Chain A
Amino acid sequence: RKEVEQDPGPFNVPEGATVAFNCTYSNSASQSFFWYRQDCRKEPKLLMSVYSSGNEDGRFTAQLNRASQYISLLIRDSKLSDSATYLCVVNRGATNKLIFGTGTLLAVQP
């Protein structure tokens, strides 16, 4: 079993739709959590950190459930420019080692 699991998609949604991505992690000692975005043939870039209380950045909302070892990302009012792969990332702790999921591909259609 992979340490970080995501649905690879693709998710094909129309502009303006709301879309949600889910992710589970297996190591209960994981300390911090992130969503990274990766455009085609580009490097990953940090989208947002994920906190237990939930956090929001514009149209993006991230949520962490430590008890269920579950992370989510909600995108509201999808734009064409949101089309990318969204990587769920877990930080194991002391050495800042990041464990990446396989990514979920989002394609927003006009």
Chain B
Amino acid sequence: EAGVAQSPRYKIIEKRQSVAFWCNPISGHATLYWYQQILGQGPKLLIQFQNNGVVDDSQLPKDRFSAERLKGVDSTLKIQPAKLEDSAVYLCASSPVGRQGEYEQYFGPGTRLTVT
């Protein structure tokens, strides 16, 4: 079974530039998550989709970050404009819909963003 795919794997941009990340979840997984992992910290949820609807975006900095999952499959996360503190690994995860709290999230390899 193919895992969660993400691209690009690495990105270096200057502050105030824009950047976009792409994620393709495991086939059949209705729920998709974007996490930000800053060096030395655990992943922090930015946004969660179920199919093409947003379930939780309470920690997404909406003045600069946006995300969409238009057809309920793959997803794009955008940062515009980027700040130095956005340097992190952006992880995408997916899970099937099942009994609450009982289903595993599968993570992609992440995109390592460096803002200079």
A positions within 8 Å CB-CB of B: 4, 8, 31-32, 42-46, 87, 89, 91, 93-103
Q: Total A-B residue pairs with C-beta atoms closer than 8 Å? A: 53
Given contacts A43-B91, A45-B107, A46-B104, contact A95 B42 (CB under 8 A): no
Across the interface, name the chain A residue whose C-beta is closest to B38.
A102
Q: Which residues of B contact A98 (CB under 8 A)?
A: 43, 45, 105
B101/A100 in contact, CB under 8 A: no
Residue in contact with B42 in the complex, picked from A91, A96, A101, CB distance below 8 Å = A101
Residue in contact with A95 in the complex, picked from B44, B48, B108, CB distance below 8 Å = B48
Given contacts A87-B42, A100-B43, contact A42 B101 (CB under 8 A): no
Binary contact track B18-53/A, C-beta < 8 Å → 1, others 0: 000000000000010000000011111100100000
B75 interfacial by beta-carbon distance below 8 Å: no
B107/A93 in contact, CB under 8 A: no
A102/B42 in contact, CB under 8 A: yes
Residue in contact with B100 in the complex, picked from A45, A93, A103, CB distance below 8 Å = A93
**B99 → A minimal CB distance (Å):** 10
Q: Which residues of A contact B42 (CB under 8 A)?
A: 4, 87, 89, 100-103
Q: Is the interface of B mostly helix, strand, loop or mixed?
A: loop
Interface residues on chain B, number (Cβ under 8 Å): 22
**B19 → A minimal CB distance (Å):** 20
A43/B107 in contact, CB under 8 A: yes
| Separation of A46 and B107 alpha carbons in the complex (Å) | 9
B105/A102 in contact, CB under 8 A: no
Q: Which residues of A contact B108 (CB under 8 A)?
A: 43
**A5 → B minimal CB distance (Å):** 11
Q: Which residues of B contact A46 (CB under 8 A)?
A: 104-105
A100/B110 in contact, CB under 8 A: no
Across the interface, name the chain B residue whose C-beta is closest to A8.
B40
| Separation of A91 and B48 alpha carbons in the complex (Å) | 14
Q: Which residues of A contact B103 (CB under 8 A)?
A: 96
A95/B40 in contact, CB under 8 A: no
Across the interface, name the chain A residue whose C-beta is closest to B4.
A43
| Separation of A87 and B35 alpha carbons in the complex (Å) | 14
Across the interface, name the chain A residue whose C-beta is closest to B109.
A43
